[in-house]
Structure 1
Amino acid sequence: MRSIHRTAKMAVAGLALIALGACTSQYLQHGYVPSEEELQQIIPGIDTRASVEDVIGVPTSSGVLRDSGYYYIETQIRHFAWKRPEVVEREVLAITFDEAGVVENLITYGLEDGQVVPLTRRVTKSGDGDIGFIRKLFGNIGGLNVGQLFEE
């Protein structure tokens, strides 16, 4: 009886340890920002797009307006138990270029520099409602007037 009681206590303690272990935070790292040593190799006014790619690699993203810049983005996300994942750290390296494709500036932004931009989904509804294909196809049959067909 005593060994069963002891085994039950050990099982409960083991389950409690497993439950507590499941509640630890897990961190995921996404993206890439070059190290400070790599960034020291880039010289504004001298390096070009091609030399930047050779030194630190292809960017995570680039500017859409006239290829204005390269953006290297690294994000750390914390997952904790039942809670929604939370971004705890974000670093964005922006490398801007002039019209000739020569490096103008290197700027680093952190999470504290950003603004949360709410994304809204706007859906434009059509005037047809929920009319099916067959109903659209044959919808005007009842609107025909035989007298209109034979008028001259």
Structure 2
Amino acid sequence: MKLLRNAAIAIALSSSVLAGCQGPGEVLHQGYVVDQETLALAPVGSSREQVLLSLGSPSATATFDNEVFYYISQKRTRPVAFMKPKVVEQSVLAVYFDKDGVVERLAHYTLKDGRVFDLISRVTPTGGVELTFLGQLLRGSGGAPGAAIQNIFGGGGPK
């Protein structure tokens, strides 16, 4: 009887702990959220300075000639504080300028329109192969892959 009661208490306790983990977790908002009133202050035909005054500085600009301003916002969630957040909503307002610096058109993009912007990554992608510690050890200080192993076991070396 005592074993049955302890098992029932353990099951109730573990289910309540697991139910607590399944809650909404943490919701993170990042970036510039554009409302319709502010957007109305920078209509098509307005100048670059007017856009900067009404919307503020953009999250990103186009690579060439600063012809596009991007105002990016994201909503990310994570169930527990130590887990990696997952992007659930993304909004990108793109303000396109002509060669004279006048707003040519406004566009609004969401996650359905393309890829996710990585706003907080501090990693520069590079070409090539990244070796692990063990891979570097097996590769040796240069030469052919596995040269270090051959040197250790007496199978390699210049003759």
Q: What TM-score results when the alignment is normalised by the length of structure 2?
A: 0.61
Question: Residue 65 of structure 1 aligns to a residue in which SS?
Answer: coil
**Would you say how many aligned residue pairs link Structure 1 and Structure 2?**
121
Q: CA contact under 8 A between 1:76 and 1:88: conserved in structure 2? A: yes
Question: Residue 112 of structure 2 aligns to a residue in which SS?
Answer: helix
Q: CA deviation at 1:130?
A: 2.9
- Note the alpha carbon deviations across 1:118-150, whole angstroms, 9 max, x for none: x9742279xxx835xxxxxxxxxxxxxxxxxxx
Q: d(CA) in 2 for partners of 1:70 and 1:84?
A: 29
Within the alignment, does 1:102 sit opposite 2:102 as a pair? yes
- Note the alpha carbon deviations across 1:96-139, whole angstroms, 9 max, x for none: 1111111111100011111479x9742279xxx835xxxxxxxx
Q: d(CA) in 2 for partners of 1:29 and 1:106?
A: 23
Distance change >3 Å, CA 66–CA 122, structure 1 → 2? same
Q: What's 1:48 paired with?
A: 47
- Note the alpha carbon deviations across 1:77-102, whole angstroms, 9 max, x for none: 12135975321111100001111111
Q: d(CA) in 1 for partners of 2:21 and 2:129?
A: 44
Distance change >3 Å, CA 65–CA 27, structure 1 → 2? same
Aligned 1:62-73 pairs, distance under 5 A: 62-73=61-72
Q: CA deviation at 1:40?
A: 1.2
Quick one: higher RCO (CA 8 Å, sep 6+), 1 or 2? 1
- Note the alpha carbon deviations across 1:9-66, whole angstroms, 9 max, x for none: 4x97566434422332322111113211111121212x21111111111111111111
Q: d(CA) in 1 for partners of 2:21 and 2:108?
A: 35
Q: CA contact under 8 A between 1:73 and 1:92: conserved in structure 2? A: yes
Distance change >3 Å, CA 116–CA 98, structure 1 → 2? same
Q: d(CA) in 1 for partners of 2:59 and 2:11?
A: 48
One-letter identity of the residue aligned with 1:62: T
Tell me, which stretches of 5 or more residues in structure 2 are unaligned?
118-123, 131-139, 143-159
Q: What TM-score results when the alignment is normalised by the length of structure 1?
A: 0.64
Q: CA contact under 8 A between 2:38 and 2:54: conserved in structure 1? A: yes
Larger Rg: 1
Distance change >3 Å, CA 71–CA 12, structure 1 → 2? same
Within the alignment, does 1:28 sit opposite 2:28 as a pair? yes
Identity of aligned residues (%): 32
- Deviates further, 88-97 or 47-56: 47-56
One-letter identity of the residue aligned with 2:114: G
Question: Residue 99 of structure 1 aligns to a residue in which SS?
Answer: coil
Q: CA contact under 8 A between 2:29 and 2:76: conserved in structure 1? A: yes
